[in-house]
Amino acid sequence: MLRLLLCSCGFLASSSSSFGSFATSVCFCRFGYNYSSGVWQFEGYGYVPYGTSGVCIMQVFGASAPRPTTLMVRVYNGSLMYYKGPVLVPNIYDQWFRLNVVHDVDSAKVKVYINGTLKIEADGRGGTSHAFKCGVYAQNNDSYYMESRWKGIKVLKKCD
């Protein structure tokens, strides 16, 4: 099966390669630096068009095994979610939203804000190296067409 992926990195990717029953479906951009301590923030304006589902649109990469990520912001059937739940924002399709993710590595906490409102504070997941990524990355029950758009991306580090 040929899959079309569109992400704000300026790439249109198609994927038909598979390994067993897993098809590779990823178009992610990495922003900022790899970091291992301190307080870091991702800010960006995201847009997910109708029909995109079963996809991670933003992540904090890096965690202790067996997990690869400290945070995933996913879209399932129009709802913006922390991993598979809870729902952060229902009905996210076809509108721009501001996403801020604050990762306090030393305190092992991550906070997610949507349009300036704190939606979740979760525990960190360890790891020695982290990075912010956004785009599209197929998850469970993914749609044939996956797209996320991003603008105004900033990565900030809290100064001591």
The span from the CA of 137 to the CA of 26, in Å, is 4
The span from the CA of 57 to the CA of 158, in Å, is 24
Calculate the average pLDDT of the chain. Answer: 85
CATH of 3-15+26-154, one of 3.40.50.1580, 3.65.10.10, 2.60.120.200, 3.40.50.280: 2.60.120.200
50 or 6: whose pLDDT is higher?
50
**Tokens matching residue 31:** 């922003």
Of the chain, the percentage scoring pLDDT greater than 70 comes to 81
Q: Predicted confidence band at 25 (pLDDT cuts at 50, 70, 90)?
A: low
Structural domain boundaries in the chain: 3-15+26-154
Would you state the pLDDT for residue 26?
Answer: 59
Q: What angle do CA 36, 41, 46 make, to 5 degrees?
A: 130
Q: Render pLDDT for 91-119 as a digit per residue (tens, 0 to 9).
A: 999 999 999 999 999 999 999 999 999 99
